[in-house]
Structure 1
Amino acid sequence: MRKRRKGIYILPNLFTLAALFGGFYAVVMAMNDRFDLAAVGVFCAMVLDSLDGRVARMTNTQSAFGEQMDSLSDMVSFGAAPALIAYEWALKGLGRWGWIAAFVYCACGALRLARFNVNTQVVDKRYFQGLPSPAAAALVAGFIWLMTEAGIAGADVRWVMFFVALYAGLTMVTNVPFYSFKDVQMKKSVPFVVIVLIALGIAVINIHPPVVLFALFVVYGLSGYVVYGWRKAKGQRASVISTSTDEPEESGLHK
């Protein structure tokens, strides 16, 4: 019998490639001093990245190739791109401190993605272990977008950018739980009011996208610490690791 040739599923990988293009576009725009468009590129990549996995699950086209492609795309769009944009916009004015902050963010992005890949089977699906890289990228890019729209130069807020980059980067590699929204079922019917609320949300975002989007991700970027502190205060287990029998060195994460 003739052996069937192996291939890849085109639909989910098209979304992944489009997200990768968003990150690449953001870097190119930053090189041309169009930091507002660079930030928009990162946000577009974030939207497309949120769709590829859902499309794969809904069409039953998940694959190991798609998972690896998604991780590589995320590293470019949410790891390297925000670090380079932040450096070009403000951090290079700080000398060695600037590139150190940019590198810390980029390195933490890589570590976050690597840990996510190996901990997929042991983490509570309702939560992310640490700030997800798209949300971290949204904090960095959102701050740049907001300042650019306000006419504030990067040199004027370079130390603020320094701390934003460090906060976003280091929060990615913490054990703080951030709600993943993965238990939201797209196939199930919802009350009519939910659609009305979604429409209102879109309308609010369109009032002033830089302000609204940055505010939303600031709230999300702080929400994990609120959940962590609440669990600690209640004496509950704060880690999102559920079981870790194959990785004994991670036993301390259950505390």
Structure 2
Amino acid sequence: MSVITTVAREILRSRCTNCLLYRTYATRKRFYRNTGIVQNDSKWEVTLDHRRLKTPNGSVLLVNSEPLARAIAAEWDAQSEAISQPTMHLTALCNTALDNPGKLTSHDIVTYLLEYFPTDTLLFYNEEERELRILQEKKWGPILNWFQKTFDVTQDVSSGFEPPPMHTETRAILARYLLAFDFAALNAISFGVEALKSPILMLACINRRLEPKEAVMLARLEEEYQLSRWGRVPWAHELNQAELTARVAASLLVVHCSSEIHTSKVKSSPQQEITQ
């Protein structure tokens, strides 16, 4: 079994482990009245009736950002009589990053993401339906152009069923970019990529080129095209779209909170050196 296959299996197992944990508690009744946050040195905790929220492995759920802590608290506060943990994506992402059930490293996740790139949805144009192909070129083309210009890379699209090649230079540039993120952010990026089936769309969201809803619509372009021709099941497809958008939005919140902290540290370090 290849290293890549092993890493992919561990990442998916991490997701499944948390899904199983949530499934176990999916019907739990709400056992708290109020939620809150408290600062713990440079980190933040979430409280349920003044009790510290913990991960499935029993660790205190600590995050580096006050806005992220408030968002997690709001996620718990939004629960009704029964707690629906499978819908609590922020909690799940933070639990996975802290417990790390797959025992992954940042390099493992980056390797997984790089191997995902050649299978990106945006690199596979429909060869049979001309109308769909034109739509894909119109909607996907600007994002592909943005990706190549922003990262100064060249990326071919598939001319059939085989994934297009990924140039060595492209791989190196993307590896450096991704490794600048911390483990929690990389875990969130992976989650968003899996929802969109597209690293390129996820990068466009991270860099604020796309909103989550726009990215989901581009990821579902072929499906939406077929639905426009054959009709849709009332509510079903809208619910799926809303769920994917929620996943991507949760991923972006974790990524942006981590990135803002990293940027603040980098900007403050020169001043710290002067005052020391």
Task: Please give the TM-score of this superposition, normalised by the length of structure 2.
Answer: 0.22
Structure label with greater radius of gyration: 2
More helix by share: 1
Structure-1-length-normalised TM-score: 0.24
